[in-house]
Structure 1
């Protein structure tokens, strides 16, 4: 299983960052390759992705949710195998460190080749940079005085 760990600091309070990580439907706005996320219930979501031309649909289950601190998930079923966590650390009242850890089991020749080329690492890094812009823009809009 491949593992990626990436960290980024965002200029938004931890509560705003957590609220956005807990709203899966917004993920297509900053996660490249995520076409749709539909919340099924409190703990489950259905995902449609298309990465490097490979379309996938799968479901995830939230296995841990600590408001303001952590969200952890895993896929269910057999088609896609990955787990992830997002850990949040308040740096001060207005800034948060976001640490994303993902583990992924590549299947098939294309995914194994992409894994060896470090494409998942670059994808997660890019997604976090896009998240930073997304959450900072959203945070500024929510706090016109700040």
Structure 2
């Protein structure tokens, strides 16, 4: 049986919910604030190709957006159905502040990945990356772009 690693992290950002949400839809900007992400190529409105390198282990995989509602949430999962899934939620705190909460699940595959999970290295990286997202969006003051489409999951498995 496969063991899934789960991490949840929340950060408050000093930008309106629309700005935080719009920036998160710009997947190709993720390497600017996610240390393990080498590149993300947006293939379609709903699909992305990822290249990650964590602890010296490079992985490539595709994800699909399975649920998306502007200014509220974006949920995704890997198209192989097992290796990666996540959801990010956006909650307005007031006109200029937003709570961003991310929940990630993945299946460590290699000995190095399993050791990293056991030592909570992955959890520390997600916390650091969320702080980097905060710094990135607050220093800019505006998003680099945005996609405001709705996506409803019609496939098996439903939401996370």
- Does structure 1 conserve the Cα–Cα contact (< 8 Å) formed by 2:38 and 2:51? yes
Are residues 1:76 and 2:104 paired?
no
Q: Which runs of 5+ in 2 are unaligned?
A: 145-160
Over 3 Å off, 4+ runs: none
Q: Which runs of 5+ in 1 are unaligned?
A: none
- Does structure 1 conserve the Cα–Cα contact (< 8 Å) formed by 2:137 and 2:143? no
Distance 2:83 2:13 in 1: 29
Q: Give the number of the structure whose residues are more often helix, by fraction.
A: 1
Per the alignment, residue 112 of structure 2 pairs with: 110
1:19-30 alignment to 2 at 5 Å?
A: 19-30=22-33
- The alignment yields a C-alpha RMSD, in angstroms, of 1.6
Per the alignment, residue 33 of structure 1 pairs with: 36
Q: 1:25 to 1:140 in 2, by over 3 A?
A: closer
TM-score of the pair, normalised by structure 2: 0.84
Q: 1:123 to 1:76 in 2, by over 3 A?
A: same
Aligned length: 141
Q: Which moved more, 1:132-141 or 1:38-47?
A: 132-141
Distance 1:132 1:86 in 2: 14
Distance 2:17 2:101 in 1: 12
Output one character per residue of 1:80-107: Cα deviation in whole Å (capped at 9) or x when no partner. Answer: 7011010000000000000000011111
Per the alignment, residue 130 of structure 1 pairs with: 132
- Does structure 1 conserve the Cα–Cα contact (< 8 Å) formed by 2:19 and 2:142? no
Cα distance, 1:140 vs. partner? 5.9
Alignment counterpart, residue 92 of structure 2, candidates 80, 90, 93 = 90
TM-score of the pair, normalised by structure 1: 0.92
Per the alignment, residue 102 of structure 2 pairs with: 100
